Structures are given as C-alpha cells and as structure tokens.
Structure 1
Amino acid sequence: MSNTQANTKVETSPKKDFGHNGNFVQENRKSLTFIIAAIVALVVIYFAYQKIYLGPRESEAQDQMHVAQENWAKKDWDKALKGDASYPGFEKIISDYSNTKAANLAYYYGGIAYLNKGEYRKAIDYLSNYHGDDSMVSAEALGGTGDAYVELKDLDKAASYFKKAADKANNKFLSPLYLKKLGLVYEAQNDNKSAVDAYKKIKSDYSDSAEAQNIDEYIARAEAKLNQ
C-alpha cells in the first residue's frame, strides 16, 4: 500500500473524526458550557417574566373583568363586550391584557355574547381563540361554535363541533345535549343512520339525563326515515 493510500485511510477514520477516549467532550467543553448557560438563562427569564410581568397583569385583568362578567350574566351583551366609562368589556380585556388567563376566558365570554347577538362569524372567531383546561367551559365553547355553524348553514362543521363538544364534556349534563344536537344535524343532512347512533348513545350512556327522557321518539323518527 502506498503512503498516499495509508494517509488517506487515517484521515477518514471515525476515530479521527470523533476523537479518542472521550476527547469529543473535552474538545467541545466550551460550546457545551455555553449551551447549558443559555438554557438556564432562558428558564430564569421565563419565570421572571411570569412573576414580574404577567402576575400583576393577571390580577389587574381579573379585577377589571368582573363587571363585564356581571353584565354577561344579565345578558346585557353589548355592555359585556364593550364595557362602559368605568369598566372595560371583554373586547378591551383581550386587547389590553393579552397572554393572561383572564383574556383567554374573555374569548369564551365574548364568543357566547356574539352568538346571542346573532353575529355568528365573530362568535366563531372568539370561541376558537379560547383554549382552556376546564372540560365544561371547553365543551361549551365547542358547542357554541357548533351552534354558530348551524346558523350559518354549514352543517358539516356543526356536526364536527357537536361531536367534539360531547366527547370533551364527557358528563351527563353536556354530553347528551350535544349528542342530541348532533343527531338533529345528521337528520337535517339525511344521514339518518348516524342520527340513530347519536340518539342511541344518549339512551345507553346517559339514561338518567333530561335528553334521554323522550329520546325514543327521536330514535323512532330517524329509524322510520331509514325504512322509507
């Protein structure tokens, strides 16, 4: 073998590339130290941001929002959304206190308010921006979105959201409600088999719910359409 060939073989050896006896770590110690320091700094900045900046804003937003919530409970939708000279409405809470839990919840309240006002596109925009861990509120946001799509005659999307709402709620109060709405949408689409399945799920899984009390009538009606 020539000297040229031998030298080439040594230069392409994996051991040459990655170092001998753990030298890779030694040779890159400065880079690794810098990366670790950067990660630690980011963590410190994140918690400082949460405590120093978001913490006070969160408290202030919640304090500012309680009047809007009271107006919402009274079904004074315009005042709940727009506020007055003394207290902001949900729209301003979202604008002034973005990235807070209060602003996130304001999206839900605002969406339901717009739904009741008949402004369905705005209702969908607001409800779609709500992201929460509470299964009840999340289910209501999904169900409200389904209601808005029904009003807009987009039954495919309405069915999708009612199904998500029923699954998300997973309780005897909201799940049968949204399953019934899902069945009605399926009937409107002439998908009577799916309607029967939705109604029968109410009967089997939520037999003690209010919706289950007369669900046999809905099952019979959808089944009759199947046999036509």
Structure 2
Amino acid sequence: MAEIKHKAATPQSSQEFDLQGSVHKAEDFYHKNKNVINIALLAVVVIVGGFFAYNRFIKAPNEKKAQEMIFHAQEAFAADSFRLALNGDGNNYGYLQVIDRYGGTKVGNLAKYSAGVCYVKLGEYQKGIDMLKSFSADDKLVQAYAYGLTGDAYMELNKMDEGIGFYKKAGHYSDNELTAPLYLFRAGLALEKAGKPQEAITIYKEIREKYPQTNEGREMDKYLARLGEVRD
C-alpha cells in the first residue's frame, strides 16, 4: 500500500494571533465604553464646530464693527486731538468706547495702544501706563514702542527704576536699528541721571558695538568720553 503523506497544517504566526487578539480587545473595549467614547467624539465635534462658528459669526463681525467704530477716533488721533480721540464727541466714538465694547478684538487691542499714547500725551501718565500694559502686539516694532512709551511715562512720574527697566525692555525686545538704539540710549541717559555711570557705560558700549551706523551709535564716543571712557 502506498504510503499516504499528510501535509502538516501550517500554524498561524504569533503575529497574526496577536493582531487578532488586539482587534478583539479593541472591540471589547469599544462595546464596554462606547457611550463614553461617543460622548467624547461628540464633544470634539461640538468644540471644533463651535470654534469655526465663533470665528465666522461672532469674531469676524465684531472685528468689522470695531473697525467702523474706531474710524473717527483714528482721525482725531491723527489731528493730535487726543482727548477727542479718547472719549469721542457724543456723536462719534472714542478709543475708550471701542475698548469697552470690542476690547477682545484685534482692533480693540490696537485701540489700547492708541489710548495709552493719548493718555501720555495728555499728561495722565499712570492711566497711560495701565493702558499700555494691557496692550500686546505680535509686531515686535509696535510692542517695542509700547514698552518705550511706558518707560517715558514712568520717567515723567519720577519712577526712575521702572522707567529704566522699560527702556531696557524696549531696547532689547527687537534687534533693529530704529527702536533698539533709541531706547537703549534713553536707558543710558536715565542711568546717568540715577547716579549709575558704570551701568550707563555698559549700555553706551552696547549701542556703539551693535548699532555703529545709527545716529545714536555715532554719538556714543562722546557720551562715553564724558564718563571717562576713551577708546585706546
């Protein structure tokens, strides 16, 4: 009798068993927790949908309304009518009304900067400081100006340490040849006034080394010589 050979069954690999086991475990987990999972997924949909709805139906219209509302305040500001720009005239809105209604918009945030400038120009320095501190900008140049103006206001209030701090903050916030040497120079002058010549020398040397082509940079040898620092 011919020998009958039986082909051995090829066992499934352990990887296939593991995969099947994982699938079954995942199914079991879902069935046991499907209510929680479905609620979580629904929450994500609601949050994402709410975000887009907020941007489209609330944020965008508010930006437009704020832009329309600020128009006359900007005109008054350009004409140096700072009190009118702040408060409006009864018929047209000022920055303060824009901030009150739409302070959370980009236009409202910019109104805080402009209102801070108005207060400082009107000699209401603490109000200017408070308003400028509530402002924040993605634009580093504008933010540097806000810090620098805050320093000016503190100096007007004879709060020299705070003024110097904000001048340094403005000078170091954006490495450019417009605001950086300007506010570092003011910091140096304020340090001299505060009786801190060595700190002023450090600032003046920084200006001379980093911004030699600016008006401030070209003047630094003179200011350093006045403090006894002469080039070799």
TM bucket, shorter chain: 0.7 to 0.9
Q: Cα distance 1:192–1:29, how it changes in 2: closer, same or farther (>3 A)?
A: farther
Q: Determine if the alignment matches structure 1 residue 128 to structure 2 residue 133.
A: yes
**How big is the shift at 1:21?**
4.8
Q: Cα distance 1:36–1:188, how it changes in 2: closer, same or farther (>3 A)?
A: farther
Q: For each residue in 1:80-125, what CA deviation from the matched residue of structure 2 results, as whole angstroms up to 9, or x when unmatched?
A: 1011233211011111223111110000000011011111110011
Q: For each residue in 1:170-207, what CA deviation from the matched residue of structure 2 results, as whole angstroms up to 9, or x when unmatched?
A: 21011100000111122222222221111111111111
Q: Determine if the alignment matches structure 1 residue 44 to structure 2 residue 49.
A: yes
Aligned residues: 205
Q: Cα distance 1:21–1:52, how it changes in 2: closer, same or farther (>3 A)?
A: closer
TM-score where L is the length of structure 2: 0.82
2: CA distance between counterparts of 1:177 and 1:160? 14
1: CA distance between counterparts of 2:128 and 2:153? 7
Q: Cα distance 1:27–1:59, how it changes in 2: closer, same or farther (>3 A)?
A: same
Match of 2:97 in 1: 92
2: CA distance between counterparts of 1:41 and 1:143? 43
2: CA distance between counterparts of 1:61 and 1:39? 31
Match of 2:150 in 1: 145
Q: Determine if the alignment matches structure 1 residue 164 to structure 2 residue 169.
A: yes
C-alpha root-mean-square deviation of aligned residues, in Å?
1.8
TM-score where L is the length of structure 1: 0.83
Q: Cα distance 1:29–1:172, how it changes in 2: closer, same or farther (>3 A)?
A: same
Larger radius of gyration: 2
Match of 2:80 in 1: 75
2:227 partner SS: helix
The runs of 5 or more residues in structure 1 that have no matched partner are: 1-19
Aligned-pair identity in percent equals 36
Match of 2:40 in 1: 35
1:173 partner SS: coil
**How big is the shift at 1:24?**
5.1
Match of 1:109 in 2: 114
2:110 partner SS: helix
The runs of 5 or more residues in structure 2 that have no matched partner are: 1-23
